[in-house]
Amino acid sequence: MGEKHAKLVTRFACPTCRGIGVQGAQRCRTCGGRGTIGRQGDLMLYWGRPIDYRHLAQRHVIAIAQYTVVTILLGFAALGVGGLLWQLILLDQYGVPLWRFWEQQNIWMLTFWWSLVVDSYLVYHFSQEYAKIQHIPRRARRGVTGAAAPPTSWETALQVRRGQTVNLSDLYTAEAIAAVEKSWEFAASSRHHAVAPLHLLVALLQFPAMTEMFVRLGAPFTRLNRLVTGALPRYAVPTGNALTFDAEYFEALFSAYEEAWSRQQKKVDLSELLVACVTTSEVVRDVLYDVKIDTDAIHNVAAWFRVRREQRARYHHLRSRTSYRPRRTTMDRAMTAVATPALDSFSQDLTQLARAGYLEPCLGRDHEVTEIFRIFSAGGRQNIVLVGNPGIGKRTIVNGVAQLMVAEDVPKFMQDKRLVSLSVARLISGVTASVAEERLLHCLNEAARSRNIILFINDVSKMVGISPGGSASLDLAGALAQALTQTGLRAITTALPTDYSRYVENHLLGQVLEKMNIEEPEGNDAIQILEAKVGAIEANYHVYFTYEAIAQAVKLSGRYLHDRFLPEKAIEVLDESAVRTLNEKGRDSSVTGQDVALTVSEKTGIPLTEVTQQESAKLLNLEQEIHQRMVDQEEAVKLVSAAIRRARAELRDVRRPIVNLLFLGPTGVGKTELAKIVASVYFGRASELIRLDMSEYQEKSSVNRLLGAPAGFEGHGEGGYLTEAVRHHPFALLLLDEIEKAHPDILNLFLQVMDDGRLTDAVGRTVDFTNVILIATSNACTPTIQRLTAAGVSVAEVKAKLLSGELQQHFRPEFLNRFDSVVVFKPLGMPEVQKIARLMLQEVGKRLLEKGVSLQPTDAAIDELATAGYDPEFGARPLRRVIQERVDDAIATKILGGELERRDTIILDVGGRVTIKKPARRA
Amino acid sequence: MTRSVVLSSLKYFSLDLVGKVLYWPLWWYTVGFQKLMTITAGNVLEEEHQLGVVLWWKNLFVPMYGQYDWQGRIISFFMRLVIGIARIALLVVWFAFSLTVIVAWVLVLPLAAYFLWINVLYAFDIAWWPYA
């Protein structure tokens, strides 16, 4: 009862039957079985197609009878024509003039005259049937206004003027009606007591178009079937009423109408019904959620199918409308234009290309196209510059304008005109600036005289600065600006945002061009643009895209390919994924989200595919793997491993680096070593470690080395060391060694990196740091750490003390706050150094194994080396030197002396004694 | 039950059919004729737009190909005159065709009825005018 939703159509449920249309076994007398009605402005909407056994059977019988009668009549009409032909043949044989056929009186002519009557009846019949087809009223599509006062109850909702009632079922396509009827039949045959949107979903799945939609959604049909079967029994509970649509079902029927209305469709079709099922029913949402299909996905796939339908319709419309335009000529229809030979040699006629069907369709850009028409119609600047990044569809918008011009769906002043794309490259190629200017003026003159030309100039900023004389003379862009002002010629141009602000804005040209920003499409908009474009890729490679592939292409390229823009970068990813799928799976296979993830992975080096079992085991045991090469420092190892696991499970904040860690501790305790180990264990190769020795960045000017030289300095345009390294290896470990030694301004740079995950280089490129593990190491506060740990204070307490006091003398609080964690590395004791000595000797052993020789150090030798290499101040750092001197040198002497052969074993003993054990001889 | 539904449906269909047949001649000369006129007018206007007859005559004195010298103007005037007449002729042909369709629409039923009558009389060998 009363208003249910504040939507386009306000629903009112019958107060007697509560919106279901029946009371017990009888039709509700209050609403006459309508159950729920809707009000859209002064229109009253209701579902007026009764669905029960009797009505279904009746309609079936009538349809058969009608079909039979019409077939018989058509057959008779054909017989009549045959009769006339036969009569004509007879007349010809008897030598009677054919035109005297009407004088003949016989059975053939009798049939013919009868058939004429039948023909006229058939014309009447089909015309009547055609008149029955109703479309969503145009007035309703524009929105209904002017209703006196919105109704507030069932009774007031019923009060409409004559002719203001709309039977919803008249606005449904035959297939959509069939789906509704099938859902009822399915519920009836299952002995359910209510028909709900879930039944409608089952019915929809029986239509090939819907099956295709679910294939695109990548739905596992067996699982979907199981889930639906599992959810259906809830409708078998007796309600005390005859089987009828439940209130939610009526809600879905209205919702489908709303969907069609808001998408400006003429009729409610299957895809609108599917969307309505999902939006109105929690049960349907739950079922689909379990097969990884959410409401957004349904909306976007429905949009995909709708766009395909519209593309076909638009193509046919374009074909039929292009017949007005003169073919293969540059003339207008009144032949008042002038031939433009010079312009033709430096340009391409976009309207001719559109007429021939060579231009790609422009979809989802209606707003921009309308804006172009608005600017052209307005009294101000009548020339436009579309400003936007490369690949976001500026050219496509212009192509769209060309197509509309061909179809003459444009304002009057643009009708019967040509859109001509003038090529700056052709104008200036191989000639001096003065010749180029002469060519341009010639072209502009022709265009102005012809009066049927609208110019399109791509990248207009390229014309700035091409000047035939000194700095005071007019450059190409200036000449263009002058011509546009003086001749009233209209032009659409494009420019990149940086070029526009640098070259065009303050130029003469900037004063004649109205700036129109073209934004990069994002999210669902980008998905729907891609859906309109994948048809061509599918036709090229004979593979099919699932919805997930398209959604992944938008999501992953948006997140990981920062140099370029949507939709172009996503199209490229889809294109490459299609090629891979064709090569790996063959023709007619489907491109899945995984295929797209793999393509983006390969382009960026970032693991994006689903975690495999092998990788999952590796991630779970990351600590053990790191500890095979790293002694102690449990906390640091744990933190790094957890951060990597979070990143791979996609639980981290994707707008910041994977993790920002500060390793604090004395020298030689393994800070840098841990970073190297993480790089080689997780990234697979140590080369994914970007190491910056911050002691080299003590000067303020060294910022230029990190970000690249600013304009006017030597090396400008080459990019900085840091930004270039991360741009080429976005998934890497960034190690900032000895960070306390860097200049404070450089530390400020890293504030942005750690907070926003991006940095802009000197060229203006934004570099993505969101897939970087950032580890900074520092020896700051070493004496305190050593003193406190020697006094037996725990690592946690040491860290707390440092953070609250001494560390702030070295780093500003906001810098320290940006780190996810500050890890204190405790100084190494003798047992740790012994373990390290063992690990280092294992490294030596590995190198010797390559020569076929094995190394066996005795425990005493290891202890001796550890003692010699241990220094409380320098940690394990001297150990490497000791091993080099005592072990590597001794073995090198043996090798050079020719004493070692393959299969020999070197025994390393105390005092650096090296003995060689020969293998036992084989019998 | 099924039988009764089938029978009632057929009954409904038959009654509906009778109603439709009765309405058909009326429709033919009222709603149908109006529709025919609308469609034909639309087609003629469409053809006019295709041929650009009005556009052509409007520009009778505008030189073709932007030739604004007096020679260009004279040549252009005569050229436009000739082509304009040709286009009007084409439009007239199209109009005549449309008119034929309209006349056929109006005459088809009485003509068919008349000739049917003649042929039925012939089939039963009856003089249609006993006093002849």
Secondary structure of chain B in HEC code, one letter for each residue: CHHHHHHHHHHHHHHHHHHHHHHHHHHHHCHHHHHHHHHHHHHHHHHHHHHCHHHHHHCCCCCHHHCCCHHHHHHHHHHHHHHHHHHHHHHHHHHHHHHHHHHHHHHHHHHHHHHHHHHHHHHCCCCCCCCC
Q: Quick one: A789 and A855 in the same domain? A: no
Mean pLDDT of A529-542: 85
Residue A2 lies in a domain: no
- pLDDT score of A684: 65
Residue A347 lies in a domain: yes
Maximum C-alpha span of chain B: 90
Which domain CATH number covers A791? 3.40.50.300
- Cβ atoms of residues A468 and A434 within 8 Å: yes
Note which residues in 39-58 of chain A have CB less than 8 A from chain B.
Answer: 53-54, 57-58
- pLDDT score of A613: 64
Residue A158 lies in a domain: no
Residue A162 lies in a domain: no
- pLDDT score of B100: 95
Quick one: which of A300, A290, A271, A294 has its CA closest to A220?
A290
Quick one: which of A549, A612, A551, A548 has its CA closest to A580?
A549
Placement of tokens 């690949």 in the chain: A391
Whole-prediction pTM value?
A: 0.71
User: Chain B residue with minimal CA distance to A323?
Assistant: B50
- pLDDT score of A149: 65
- pLDDT tens-digit map of A213-258: 888 888 888 888 889 888 888 887 776 667 777 778 888 999 999 8
Residue A155 lies in a domain: no
**Rounded CA gap, A404 and A398, in Å?**
10
- In angstroms, the separation between the Cα of residue B89 and the nearest Cα of chain A is 18
Residue of A52, A56, A61, A130 to mutate for B, most B C-beta atoms under 10 A: A61
Q: Which residues contact A236 (CB under 8 A, 6 or more apart)?
A: A190, A191, A192, A193
Peptide bond into A567 cis (omega under 30): yes
Q: Quick one: A727 and A672 in the same domain? A: yes
Highest-pLDDT range among A38-47, A270-279, A777-786, A803-812:
A270-279
Placement of tokens 């109704």 in the chain: A151
Tally the C-alpha atoms within 13 A of residue A76's C-alpha that lie toward its C-beta: 18
Q: Which residues of B touch A (CB under 8 A)?
A: 2, 5-6, 8-10, 12-13, 17, 20-21, 24, 27-28, 32, 35, 49-50, 52, 55-56, 58-59, 62-66, 108-109, 111-113, 115-116, 118-120, 122-123
One-letter amino acid of A609: T
Residue A624 lies in a domain: yes
- pLDDT tens-digit map of A648-701: 777 777 788 888 888 888 877 778 888 888 777 777 665 578 888 888 888 888
Q: Quick one: A630 and A708 in the same domain? A: yes
Highest-pLDDT range among A122-136, A354-368, A642-656, B116-130:
A122-136
Q: Which helix (H) or strand (E) holds A229?
A: helix A221-231
Count other C-beta atoms under 10 Å from residue A823's C-beta.
23
Structure tokens at A238: 């007796």
- In angstroms, the separation between the Cα of residue A117 and the nearest Cα of chain B is 6
Q: Quick one: A395 and A443 in the same domain? A: yes
Domains of chain B, by residue range, sit at: 22-123
Last residue of a domain, one of A117, A142, A167: A142
Residue A208 lies in a domain: no
Q: Quick one: A661 and A787 in the same domain? A: yes
Is A412's Cβ below 8 Å from some Cβ in B? no
User: Chain A residue with minimal CA distance to B65?
Assistant: A338
Q: Quick one: A484 and A630 in the same domain? A: no
Structure tokens at A777: 């190491």
Placement of tokens 């061009």 in the chain: A513
Q: In what order do the strands lie in the sheet with A854-857?
A: A854-857, A905-908, A914-917
At A14 the three-state DSSP class reads coil
Of A53, A105, A338, the CB nearest to B119: A105
- pLDDT score of A923: 46
**Rounded CA gap, A82 and A111, in Å?**
9
Count other C-beta atoms under 10 Å from residue A396's C-beta.
22
Could you tell me if the ipTM is greater than 0.85? yes
- pLDDT tens-digit map of B94-126: 999 999 999 999 999 999 999 888 888 777 776
Q: Quick one: A816 and A873 in the same domain? A: no
Q: Quick one: A598 and A623 in the same domain? A: no
Residue A591 lies in a domain: yes
Q: Which helix (H) or strand (E) holds A848?
A: helix A830-849
A9: burial class by Cβ within 10 Å (0-12, 13-18, 19+)?
buried
Last residue of a domain, one of A806, A824, A842: A824
Last residue of a domain, one of A497, A517, A537: A517
- Enumerate the β-bridge partners of residue A117: none
Is A106's Cβ below 8 Å from some Cβ in B? yes
Quick one: which of A567, A563, A573 has its CA closest to A527?
A567
* Tally of domains within chain A: 5
Q: Quick one: A600 and A651 in the same domain? A: no
- Cβ atoms of residues A894 and A876 within 8 Å: no
Which domain CATH number covers A855? 1.10.8.60
- pLDDT tens-digit map of A167-201: 888 999 999 999 999 999 998 888 888 888 999 99
Range of the domain at A768: 614-824
Q: Quick one: A623 and A689 in the same domain? A: yes
Structure tokens at A693: 């020795």
